[in-house]
Structures are given as structure tokens and as C-alpha cells.
Amino acid sequence: MKQELAQKLKNIIHDELRGVHTAVSGKVVDFDPEKVEATIQPTAKYRKPDGELIDFPKIYEVPMYFMQAANQKISLVH
């Protein structure tokens, strides 16, 4: 009985976490140099419950940071 309950809880947690995405690669499709923000199109696909793969929506107003190191100590430009 305890083992069945534990397995059901694991299944519920796994199903819920399947839709959580904390990091995904993307492509810059637009860039605003004044605001230093970009519009990003994620390159991964989302799998709907019926199995169909669709594009993630674009992400707007993403702050951009640029690393620099040429003969400098490390700096970060925003």
C-alpha cells in the first residue's frame, strides 16, 4: 500500500515537472540596441499532450548581456 502511494506521488510529480522548462536555447530574432533587449525564438519544440510538436512562443524584452575580455579584466556590459 505504501509503495503504491509512493509510486502514485512520483507519477504526479513527474507529470507536473514535464512542463517545467528552466533553460532552453534560442535564436535572437530582433534586437533593440537602445534598451539592450532582444526578442528570442526558442529553438526547442513543445510536445502537446496529444504528441504534436509545436514551437514555443517568442519571448519579448529579454535583457542582453555581453561579456568582454580582450586585454581586460573581466567585464559585463548591459
- Flag whether pLDDT at 45 surpasses 80: yes
Higher pLDDT, 31 or 65: 31
- Please state, for a pLDDT cut of 90, what percent of the chain lies above it: 54
> How does DSSP classify residue 49?
T
- Flag whether pLDDT at 28 surpasses 80: yes
Task: Rounding to the nearest 10 degrees, give the CA dihedral for residues 25, 28, 47, 5.
Answer: 50
Q: Is pLDDT larger for residue 68 or for residue 17? A: 17
pLDDT grade, residue 66 (50/70/90)? confident
Q: Give residue 20's pLDDT.
A: 81
